Amino acid sequence: MNSAPSAVLEDGHRELVDAFESFVRRELVPLAAELPETADQPPADLRAYVRKRSAALGFYAGDYPEELGGSGMPFTAVVLLHHAAGRSGCALAPYALAGSDGPSPLLRHGTPEQIERYLVPLVRGESARCLALTEPHAGSDAFRLTTTAVRTGDGWRISGRKTFVSNADRADIALVVAATDLGEGAGPTGGATAFVIPMDQPGLRIGQRYEGMSGEPLFELMLDGVTVPADAVIGGEEGVGAATALAIDSLSRGRLVVAAMCNGVAEYALRLGVEYAREREAFGARIGTYQHVQEHLVATRAEVEAAKLLTLACARLVDAGTEAPENAALAKLTASETAVRAVDRSLQVHGATGWVRGHPLEFLYRYVRMMTIIEGTSEVQKVIIAKAMGLG
Ligand SMILES: Cc1cc2nc3c(=O)[nH]c(=O)nc-3n(C[C@H](O)[C@H](O)[C@H](O)COP(=O)(O)OP(=O)(O)OC[C@H]3O[C@@H](n4cnc5c(N)ncnc54)[C@H](O)[C@@H]3O)c2cc1C
């Protein structure tokens, strides 16, 4: 029986988490063992297989309703599964759960036709998407957009340049956010609008490829007068100019999922550190008996347990109907900063062993670094929290 404080909040989902962990052990760990030791990212076809297999078992996109191909599980359960994936240390486990290429909460606001055509295949793991929001001069300040969508009468013409887009090379559709120009010389005065665009749409193409620290590439996406029909606007006519509100509405869950992944990774790093400190000897004793080494591991244990409790409490509030952005910001800030420290400390405990290419900590050190940047940087989370405290 798990006696950690966070186990109190895991109650009720133990069987589901056990079933997921068993799937990871039985099916994914053997597949991951066949990957080359220094391959940072699994090949696209293997990722697609894992996605579909997990969807068939009901884990992938589990919080989506059954009529959309999900399992209708509570959001707290999803958070616990992401935690379990990170904690497993299995390179394929994160791909068994919906992430940046999976069903986007943005599409939950889609028209019935958009939901049927685009969201359902994403929930079933049968397709993949990318989100093109960031621009060269609009990162944290995400809605300072220069990509424009001009109304053309029966549709829209979209032009601009997006950057740092994940999954663009293997996505079937792109969700593109553009400044809305209502036509007839009005200029981009109509707020931001989100579009769903097939990746093979004429005028839409991948530009530069950026190699990321953890082997996950990012892409530039060029839109050279991409012409789309009116029903490409997410949410239909009501969605025109509504992208900021839709995006803000969908951010909380994404941030809590990132927090859960971070907690899992931190717990995995901690486990590796503790195991190593119990075995490795220096100066005639196990290094775990030295207080400087204990400090690394005990501080991590305390921080991880606190981050996990915070994340689970916020997930439970989501299930209770409260999606306060500051809650998600608190959890994401705490969990991502904790995970970066946890991996750093565990690597320190391993000395050169953890620094060598092929060691799990060497990969985690590069992988975890993105967590304080994606889904809003740590500073942006602090801005949100400060505002909620009446300081903004
Ligand atoms: C691995 C990875 C995957 C990504 N995937 C996608 C994707 O799929 N689609 C997509 O659209 N984008 C994606 N991005 C881009 C990501 O959303 C941006 O990197 C992020 O929003 C930060 O923007 P920026 O990098 O331009 O930094 P900037 O906004 O330029 O920030 C630079 C620094 O200034 C700080 N800063 C900015 N504003 C403030 C403020 N008001 N107060 C205090 N500090 C501030 C930031 O915190 C940061 O430290 C991805 C990024 C990474 C690293």
**CATH match for 245-388 among 1.20.140.10, 3.40.50.720, 1.20.950.20, 3.30.230.10:** 1.20.140.10
Q: Which residues of the chain have pLDDT under 70?
A: 1, 184-187
Asked if residue 222 lies in contact with residue 168, where contact means CB atoms within 8 angstroms, the answer is: no
Which residues are designated catalytic?
375
pLDDT of the residue at 103? 96
Looking at ligand 1, which atom is closest to the CA of residue 162? 11
CATH H-level superfamily of 7-99? Acyl-CoA dehydrogenase/oxidase, N-terminal domain (1.10.540.10)
The ligand 1 atom at the shortest distance from the C-alpha of residue 375 is 17
Residues 6 or more apart whose CB falls under 8 angstroms from that of 25 comprise 88
- Separation of 143 CA from ligand 1 center, angstroms? 12
pLDDT at 17: 96
Q: Amino acid identity of 261?
A: M
Q: Which CATH number fits domain 129-240: 3.30.420.40, 2.40.110.10, 3.90.1170.40, 3.30.1360.20?
A: 2.40.110.10
| Sequence-ordered list of residues with C-beta below 8 angstroms from that of 110, at least 6 positions apart, any chain | 118, 119, 196, 234, 235
User: Rounded to a whole number, what is the distance in angstroms from the first to the last CA of the chain?
Assistant: 45
Alpha helices in the chain (DSSP H): 7-10, 14-23, 29-33, 44-57, 75-88, 112-114, 120-123, 243-279, 291-319, 325-350, 352-355, 360-367, 378-388
Task: Look at residue 12 in the predicted model and tell me its pLDDT.
Answer: 80
Q: Is the CB of 38 under 6 A from ligand 1?
A: no
Atom 37 of ligand 1: nearest residue by CA position: 140
Please give the model's pTM, rounded to 2 decimal places: 0.96
CATH 2.40.110.10 domain residues, the chain: 129-240
Q: What is the pLDDT of residue 284?
A: 98
Segment 173-203, tens digit of pLDDT = 999 999 998 776 666 777 999 999 999 999 9
224-261 pLDDT tens trace: 999 999 999 999 999 999 999 888 777 889 999 999 99
Question: Which amino acid belongs to residue 356?
Answer: V
Distance (Å) from CA 278 to ligand 1 centroid: 39
Which residue of 129, 133, 134, 257 sits with most ligand 1 atoms within 8 Å of its CB, as the best mutation to test the pocket? 134
Write out the residue limits of the CATH 1.10.540.10 domain(s) in the chain: 7-99
Instruction: Outline which parts of the chain fall under CATH 1.20.140.10.
Output: 245-388
